[in-house]
């Protein structure tokens, strides 16, 4: 494997089972700072579980995850939560915005969870909404906007903390192609501008085409195809 020069995250030989079903069965992965990596694979291949593991949401049964030289699996839940608050951003397929909060408050939420003042958090949130071309829905609730707008609000929320890594799990899964393309374009451009790496789980090739390289997961194992990408 041609390891990226400065691995931001490296996951080595991850195993994870839910009950008797193995979701990950020896998955390995390295992510360099600022790169966009697509994790591809059929449904049920374990790609979401892989994302949850390297994002510190789930702990693998075995294997190591190293983020910037620190072992993730050795951290306490509180430390991992703090890490997710400060250095990671997340975009999911659907249902991620808090329905009672306005879009602006939703975007400001990660900053506020991390202890920022409301005024400052909302100022930064507003500028991110503008940047993702959804400044006009800032004071609407998630129920009052379209799916495409919602995903862009979610992208703004993922980027508002200036994270080192954005984890996106099927971010366009609930959108039509046109809206999906716009979300992907805005996400990857914004990530490149801020230097954030993006870990993108998708089963759509057109979405994966926004990445710099792809990792294929099949039956819980990553396949070595990076060589051929170069």
- Residue numbers of the site for another protein (CB under 8 A)? 18, 42-44, 48-49, 52, 55, 57-58, 78, 81-86, 88, 90, 92-93, 95-96, 98-101, 105, 109-110, 112-114, 118, 141, 169, 185, 189, 204-206, 208-212, 214, 216, 218, 223, 225, 228-229
Which residue from 217, 195, 164, 193 is spatially nearest to 38, judged by alpha carbons?
Answer: 217
**Shortest approach of another protein to residue 185 CB, angstroms?**
6
Query: Of 114 and 136, which CB lies nearer to another protein in the complex structure?
Result: 114
**Shortest approach of another protein to residue 178 CB, angstroms?**
10
Write a three-state SS string for 3-34: CCCCEEEEEEEEEEEECCEEEEEEEEEEEECC
- What is the maximum span of the chain, computed from C-alpha positions, in angstroms? 49
Query: Of 64 and 141, which CB lies nearer to another protein in the complex structure?
Result: 141
Query: Of 12 and 98, which CB lies nearer to another protein in the complex structure?
Result: 98
Ramachandran assignment for 64, one of left (phi > 0), alpha (psi -120 to 50 degrees), beta (any other):
beta
Name the phi and psi angles at 205, rounded to 5: -65, -40
Query: Of 53 and 129, which CB lies nearer to another protein in the complex structure?
Result: 53
**Shortest approach of another protein to residue 92 CB, angstroms?**
6
**Shortest approach of another protein to residue 26 CB, angstroms?**
17
* In the chain, alpha helices (H): 47-54, 77-87, 103-113, 118-131, 147-159, 177-194, 205-208, 226-229
Ramachandran assignment for 172, one of left (phi > 0), alpha (psi -120 to 50 degrees), beta (any other):
alpha
Which residue from 105, 131, 127 is spatially nearest to 116, judged by alpha carbons?
Answer: 105
Query: Of 44 and 195, which CB lies nearer to another protein in the complex structure?
Result: 44
Cα-Cα end-to-end distance for the chain: 11
Task: Identify whether the C-beta of residue 39 lies closer than 8 Å to the C-beta of residue 214.
Answer: yes
**Shortest approach of another protein to residue 141 CB, angstroms?**
8
Query: Of 33 and 174, which CB lies nearer to another protein in the complex structure?
Result: 174
**Shortest approach of another protein to residue 95 CB, angstroms?**
5
């Amino acid at each position: 494997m041609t390891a990226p020069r400065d691995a931001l995250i490296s996951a080595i030989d991850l195993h994870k089972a839910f009950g008797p079903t193995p979701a990950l069965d020896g998955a390995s992965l390295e992510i360099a700072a600022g790169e966009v990596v697509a994790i591809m694979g059929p449904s049920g291949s374990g790609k979401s579980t892989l994302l949850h593991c390297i994002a510190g949401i789930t702990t693998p049964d075995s294997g190591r995850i190293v983020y910037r030289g620190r072992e993730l699996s050795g951290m306490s839940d509180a430390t991992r939560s703090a890490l997710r608050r400060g250095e990671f951003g997340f975009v999911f397929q659907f249902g991620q915005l808090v329905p009672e909060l306005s879009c602006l408050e939703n975007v400001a939420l990660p900053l506020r969870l991390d202890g920022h003042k409301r005024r400052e958090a909302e100022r930064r949130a507003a500028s991110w909404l503008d940047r993702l071309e959804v400044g006009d829905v800032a004071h609407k609730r998630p129920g009052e906007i379209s799916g495409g707008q919602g995903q862009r609000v979610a992208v703004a929320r993922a980027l508002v903390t200036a994270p080192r890594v954005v984890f996106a799990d099927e971010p366009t899964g609930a959108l039509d192609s046109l809206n999906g393309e716009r979300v992907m374009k805005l996400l990857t451009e914004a990530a490149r501008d801020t230097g954030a790496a993006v870990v993108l789980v998708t089963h759509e090739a057109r979405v994966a085409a926004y990445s710099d390289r792809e990792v294929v997961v099949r039956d819980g194992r990553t396949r070595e195809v990076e060589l051929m990408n170069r």
